[in-house]
Amino acid sequence: MKKNIGILCAIALLVILSQDSLAWHAILPIQIERVHVGTQVRDDFEIPEYVINPVFKFKILTALSNATLTFDAYEVDVDNDEIIVNGIFAANVCKSERKFRKSWIECEIILDPALFNTGTNTISFQSGLSQSVLGPPRDYDDYMIKNVMLKADYKHLEPYFLENKAVVPNNTIVGTPVEVKISLTNIGVKPAINTTIIDYAPLGTRIIGGSREKFIPTINLQETVTHSYLITAVNPGAYYAPRSLAIYMNEEGELFRKNITATKLEFRLPKPVLNVSLSTRKEVVTVGETVEFNLEITNYGPGEARNITFSSTPPLKSELVAGPESMISLGENQTLHSKITVRFTDTSQQIYRVYTHYEDSALRGYVEKSSDVEVSIVEKTDVEIFKAKTLLAIIIVAILVIAILIVILRQVGL
């Protein structure tokens, strides 16, 4: 009898659904991709980019602009650990034509993730879409939410660490102290007991401060502890800091191990940095006249500059008369002064510069360009005319000054 009543109720429900478009669409599937987040997450803590629920039950109303879409039954296999929904990245709204109830046309409306609200195993949606965007009710009888992508935080039931290992600075000169810094953050749900950090310094380096091991009696939930020590190296090159190890227990005495990320660093030889300045007191000279340039080189370090030589690219129609002389070395924070004499053989505007070649302590070569100096070369007659004009201008200015003084003296009655 009960079985017959159930069959009759089901038939009656089908009749009702066939007459009510809204009820027929009361339960719809959400089409999204499945991602497994079980053992892989727990062992390596590689949080998946998206965590997806295979089955959602939700209610959807035709007047979507004023409706709140809520679905639950959020189930993900995480080996008895908890998964917390904390964000939605995207979702699409698809429109269904009235005459094709089982056929959903292309999803044209992309929803703003800010329209979604999330909680534990529950996601609600308030579209806020106007009727003009959704289309008139006579054209479409329902809407469907598709392609919902979620992000979740993985929560461990035991003590569990987020780890980080860094060297600061990770690229420096040999002999400089470098800090190796390890941090552990307990993101689990239980405190970590008797934690021991064991680090392995890069081969070829030596510890100059602190210890590569540390013992921490208790690391509570959400607590971060740090351990650091100093190393240095006497030989240049790239060094590999291998993975460190954290050994710890839970409150029941169960032992755990956590590998800490490896990292790299580099020690390099000091490179001397030279500043090369070129200047002259004569910026206008006659053809055939020699010009003396002052060359100043300062080594700002770090390190000594060795085997210093010079080269230049003389302008057209000019010749190098003397200098500069090579040097064996230039120490850190030292300055070199030298002279260069050049003769120009034709009229023009000329740019003159000098290139300084030098090596560091490892005999690696460098080149530094000097500042540019512009020189105007003119004919002798042009110089004489220029001097005459200059003298005339000086005389005129002197006469004007004397005249002004006479006027002033007369006004004061002297």
Residue 338, pLDDT score: 82
The mean pLDDT of the chain is 66
**What is d(CA 78, CA 404) in angstroms, rounded to the nearest whole number?**
99
Residue 317, pLDDT score: 66
Domain boundary, last residue among 268, 292, 324:
268
**What is d(CA 95, CA 37) in angstroms, rounded to the nearest whole number?**
32
Closest CA to 333 of 270, 268, 278, 269: 270
* CATH code assigned at 304: 2.60.40.10
Decide if 12 is inside a domain: no
Predicted structure pTM score: 0.43
Decide if 74 is inside a domain: yes
Decide if 112 is inside a domain: yes
Residue 214, pLDDT score: 93
Same domain, 33 and 146: yes
Domain boundary, last residue among 268, 297, 316:
268
Decide if 2 is inside a domain: no
Same domain, 79 and 182: no
Same domain, 369 and 344: yes
Residue 315, pLDDT score: 61
348-352/373-378 β-pairing: antiparallel
Write out the residue range of the structural domain in which residue 41 sits: 24-155
Same domain, 82 and 134: yes
Same domain, 356 and 396: no
Domain boundary, last residue among 268, 295, 324:
268
Q: Are the beta carbons of 267 and 281 closer than 8 angstroms?
A: no
Give the number of domains in the chain: 4
pLDDT by 10-residue block (mean), the chain, 414 residues: 42 33 27 30 33 34 32 32 38 46 45 48 44 45 44 57 88 89 86 92 88 93 91 88 89 87 86 84 76 85 82 68 76 82 75 84 84 77 66 85 82 67
Decide if 6 is inside a domain: no
Same domain, 148 and 30: yes
Kindly report, residue by residue over 62-82, the tens digit of the pLDDT.
Answer: 333 333 333 322 333 333 333
Same domain, 341 and 393: no
Same domain, 222 and 307: no
Same domain, 183 and 147: no
Kindly report, residue by residue over 344-364, the tens digit of the pLDDT.
Answer: 777 777 777 888 888 887 788
Same domain, 247 and 310: no
Decide if 197 is inside a domain: yes
